[in-house]
Amino acid sequence: MSRTNASLSKQITYLSLAFGIVLTIGLGCFGWWAASRIDDRSTQRETRAISRGLKEIVDRVSVDQETSTVWDESVINLRINNEAWLAENLAEWISEYFGHDRVYILDPANRPIRSVHDGALAEPGAYEEDKPVVDPLVEALRADMASASAGLADSTSAITGLGKQDFVTLGDGVTAFVSVRPVLPSSDAVPQAPGTEFLFISVLEVDQSIADQIGMVHDVSGMRFEEDAEAGGERMASPLLNAKGRILGFFTWTPNRPASQLIRETAFPVALGVIFVALAVALLLRRLARTSKILEETKAEASFLAFHDPLTGIPNRALFEDRLDQALANMRRTGTKIALHFIDLDRFKHVNDTLGHPAGDELIRQAAKRLSAMVDEVDTVARLGGDEFAIVQFDAGEEARAMELSQKVVDAFATPFDIAGSQANIGASVGLIVTSDTQVRAEELMRQADIALYGAKDSGRGRYQMFVGELDEAVRERRALEADLRAALAEEKGLSLVYQPIYQIHSTGIVGAEALVRWDHPVHGRVSPVAFIGLAEERGMIEQLGLWILRKACTFAAASTLPWVAVNVSPLQFRDEHFAQKVFSVLELTGLAPKRLEIEITEGLLLQNSPQIQSTLRLLRARGIRIALDDFGTGYSSISYLRNHGIDKLKIDQSFTAQLGVDGEIGSIVQSIVDLGRAMRMIVTAEGVETPAQRKILEAIGCHQLQGYMLAKPQPPEELLALLQSHRQTMAAAG
């Protein structure tokens, strides 16, 4: 025992040391990762701040220009070339006051009439050096102005707000921002014919002063503008791009790394903390070594209690289920038969009531001993609870051997029990199932044994009943139907879609159709969708079936003039986090526009209130796909669920529609649903419309769309196409 304890102590010590090392490395890696994430986010924020700061500066250039370029006086003085006025109020004034490095004014023939550099009049040929890079903007603006004012006597209102801007490299190699805008009258008093407009050009050089402005306003350290730079070391770089995506230079800066700085500042205290934790762990290991003896001594007892009944000492339900799984695994491997016996004491309650609970406990103990004495070493006797027992017969051989054991149990319990000097006559009923079916599951085997046990009790107790047949008829039929459905999906035979038109309530126009799946079984004929869709959900085929329906419906809609098609989706399909991407793939494959697809879900899906479901619905709606809530009113979804999940349409359940005009309370409920839909900007569709009276009521309360047998039954694709053609011809004739 001491050697075992020492071994356990060493295992705990080594495990703790390994855990400590792994934890330290893990925390270090996590800290490094977290710091990198924080620093990266800080760098991203600074990058965005630089872009925002640059945009603010260039946007201000246009605002600066408008202070003098939209003015009657500017147009008048440009036409008479009043140089003194232009210098004082337009060219030199804007350059000096707003800090525009270069200003050019072009006449209607794009000839420079005034050039200003750094607030002073420049040489006559100054514009020629910058003209090659400025001219494309001028020509583009002239073209836009000509197009906007074509056929007009006065171009002012048509070209107001037009302008061209871009980053360029000037003739002298300077990187700059250029803004070209027309000079416009500020009132109707000064007319301006198309093609007579003067152009005002502002050039703002992108240099260190710009970098300093951005750095100061947006708190970015060490900002510089460089023509040739790249990120590396302690500095980051953000490229300056022109409209064509060409790099003209770089803004570089020293990034703020708050997490790295924090780590440097706290490294010493953290190291002390690690040492302290290591000492604490060492003390803990010492304490664990002392308690390992106690743990080892109680380990076997705890393990026994976890899998054995405390009253009788035989296996409990947990161990019974494990032994049954083992027996089934052995049966599949060797081909032998196993037997399961469910045993119930017949008059146990009478003993409890007459002799007391202690006597009842003693009876349970003696019953467990009798059962244990009857079985082989490999078999398992278990107490399932109360006065219920079970025997797993590991190798039953022929059925007669299992039946012999069940009879032995019945005979043994026919003998009275001696309980505290009194005789207790109880008896036992046994349910037996013998199987060699390799496909059977433990749950199914237990169900069959339980059915047999109830049969024994119903037949008078004190006997055994064998489950007749390896499977009852319902199970066999269900398995056969499952196999046929799998084959139908694999071969795409027997499955088809029909479409029920949906009509606009105040017209005869078809606004869409709901796709409904049908299965024509080669033996059973048409199978109810409720039956085979439920089977597909239960047996894991719903995703394959759902995608087949979606692909077929989208293919049909894409090749027709149907405005949109609605497809029902099982809640189980939404468990797939990639469901939205699969829908997008189907749309891309079939060529159907997302706005022509409507997905119908049930209220039960919303009640799950799953973030993944919310995310999937948001992705679908963001692409343009509409979401409809089917059978609305039969579940429990609240208004908050409707808002949180984003629903485009409510479909009133046909059970409500059927009661319209019959039950006044139902009419009020339907009115409330329509009002709710309108308040939340949702389309409301009524299902199951079968009478003109129902239609009239729905029209009166403001329902948007109708669907039902009165209007049209679900139809094959070719019939729906013919109906669509007929509606188009009717509408054309009416028009």
Residue 471: per-residue pLDDT: 40
pLDDT, tens digit (0-9, with 9 covering 90-100), for 426-479: 999 999 999 988 888 999 899 889 888 877 876 778 999 888 754 455 546 766
Residue 141: per-residue pLDDT: 96
Q: Are 18 and 12 in contact (CB under 8 A)?
A: no
Residue 457: per-residue pLDDT: 79
Backbone phi, psi, residue 426, to 5° = -120, -65
Confidence label for 13 from pLDDT (cuts 50, 70 and 90): low
> Residue 152: is its pLDDT beyond 90?
yes
State the average pLDDT over residues 316-328.
92
* Length in residues, the chain: 735
CA dihedral sign of residues 389, 368, 405, 329: positive
> What CA–CA distance (Å, rounded) separates 234 from 440?
67
Instruction: Give me the long-range contacts of 642-647 (CB less than 8 A, separation at least 24).
Output: 642/606, 642/680, 642/682, 643/680, 644/609, 644/614, 645/606, 645/613, 645/614, 645/617, 646/617, 646/618, 646/621, 647/680, 647/682
> What CA–CA distance (Å, rounded) separates 28 from 626?
47
Residue 692: per-residue pLDDT: 92
Q: Which is more confident, 600 or 730?
A: 600
> What CA–CA distance (Å, rounded) separates 193 from 674?
57
Q: Please provide the distance, in angstroms rounded to a whole number, between the alpha carbons at the two ends of the chain.
A: 100
Q: Which residues contact 723 (CB under 8 A, 6 or more apart)?
A: 501, 510, 712, 715
Lowest-confidence range among 195-199, 321-325, 456-460, 711-715?
456-460
pLDDT, tens digit (0-9, with 9 covering 90-100), for 372-407: 999 998 999 999 988 999 999 998 888 889 999 999
Q: Are 105 and 113 in contact (CB under 8 A)?
A: yes
Structure tokens that stand for 667 in this block: 């009419």
3-state secondary structure of 48: helix
Confidence label for 34 from pLDDT (cuts 50, 70 and 90): confident
Domains annotated on the chain, with CATH: 2-54+259-301 (no CATH), 70-206 (3.30.450), 215-253 (no CATH), 317-471 (3.30.70.270), 492-734 (3.20.20.450)
Residue 424: per-residue pLDDT: 87
pLDDT, tens digit (0-9, with 9 covering 90-100), for 606-650: 766 678 888 999 999 999 999 998 878 665 555 666 777 778 999
> Residue 11: is its pLDDT beyond 70?
no
Considering only CA atoms, which of 163, 160, 157, 154 is closest in space to residue 195?
154
Going through 669-713 in order, the beta strands assigned E by DSSP cover 683-686, 705-706
Structure tokens that stand for 98 in this block: 């707003």
Half-sphere CA count of 542, side-chain side, radius 13 A: 21
CA dihedral sign of residues 591, 533, 573, 603: positive
Structure tokens that stand for 273 in this block: 């903390």
Going through 571-625 in order, the beta strands assigned E by DSSP cover 597-601
Confidence label for 295 from pLDDT (cuts 50, 70 and 90): low
Proportion of the chain above pLDDT 70, given as a percent = 91
Residue 514: per-residue pLDDT: 97
pLDDT, tens digit (0-9, with 9 covering 90-100), for 84-128: 999 999 999 999 999 999 999 999 999 999 999 999 999 888 999
pLDDT, tens digit (0-9, with 9 covering 90-100), for 242-263: 999 999 999 998 888 887 777 7
Q: Are 469 and 434 in contact (CB under 8 A)?
A: no
Q: Are 654 and 617 in contact (CB under 8 A)?
A: no
3-state secondary structure of 675: helix
- Cα distances (angstroms) measured from residue 110 to each of 195, 201, 466: 11, 11, 106
> What CA–CA distance (Å, rounded) separates 196 from 202?
20
Residue 9: per-residue pLDDT: 57
Proportion of the chain above pLDDT 90, given as a percent = 53
Residue 631: per-residue pLDDT: 78
Residue 298: per-residue pLDDT: 65
State the average pLDDT over residues 72-88.
94
Lowest-confidence range among 12-21, 403-412, 563-572, 596-605?
12-21
State the average pLDDT over residues 557-567.
95
Residue 151 burial (C-beta neighbours within 10 Å; 0-12, 13-18, 19+): exposed
pLDDT, tens digit (0-9, with 9 covering 90-100), for 671-706: 998 998 898 899 999 999 999 999 999 999 999 999
